[in-house]
Amino acid sequence: MLNGSCHCGAVSFEIGQTPEFLLSCNCSICRRLSTLWVYSDKVPITLHAPEDSTIAYTWGDKMLAFHSCKTCGCTTHWASLADDKIVVNSRLCPPDQIKDIRIRHFDGADSWQFLD
């Protein structure tokens, strides 16, 4: 199991098994946030984000809400506004937990294809 939390600990998550890969996206927001995503449809994820603990940011087609901790500002996850899919930021896990997991690069800025 992998564990992660924002800097202050107000938001945390558990990833129930080691994911096959972490996803690095080059879209405009992911590049700026420098995230490595783990998808809930690939592995079991439990998110602990008490009500009002995050600030949600949406733009464009308003299909996703990026969540950041209200206290420390760390981007913790994004949630689909169309279904119950969540994706957590594995950069919030201790480095030794994710160091051996493959990173796949995704072209979210243009082709919507994996680059590797």
Mean pLDDT for back-to-back runs of 10 residues, the chain (116 residues): 97 97 97 96 95 96 96 98 96 98 98 96
Q: pTM of the predicted model, to two decimals?
A: 0.95
The beta strands (E) that lie in the chain are given as 2-5, 12-15, 21-25, 37-39, 45-48, 54-57, 64-69, 75-80, 86-89, 102-106
pLDDT at 10: 98
Domain boundaries, the chain: 2-106
Q: Comparing C-alpha atoms, which of 91, 85, 87 is closest to residue 103? A: 91
CATH code for the structural domain at 2-106: 2.170.150.70
**Alpha-carbon distance 55 to 95, whole Å?**
25
In terms of C-beta density within 10 A (0-12 exposed, 13-18 middle, 19 or more buried), how is residue 17 classed? exposed
Assigned token pair, 54: 């995050």
Q: Are 98 and 36 in contact (CB under 8 A)?
A: yes
Q: How far is CA 91 from the centre of its chain?
A: 8
pLDDT at 73: 98
Residue whose tokens read 């760390």: 74
pLDDT at 72: 98
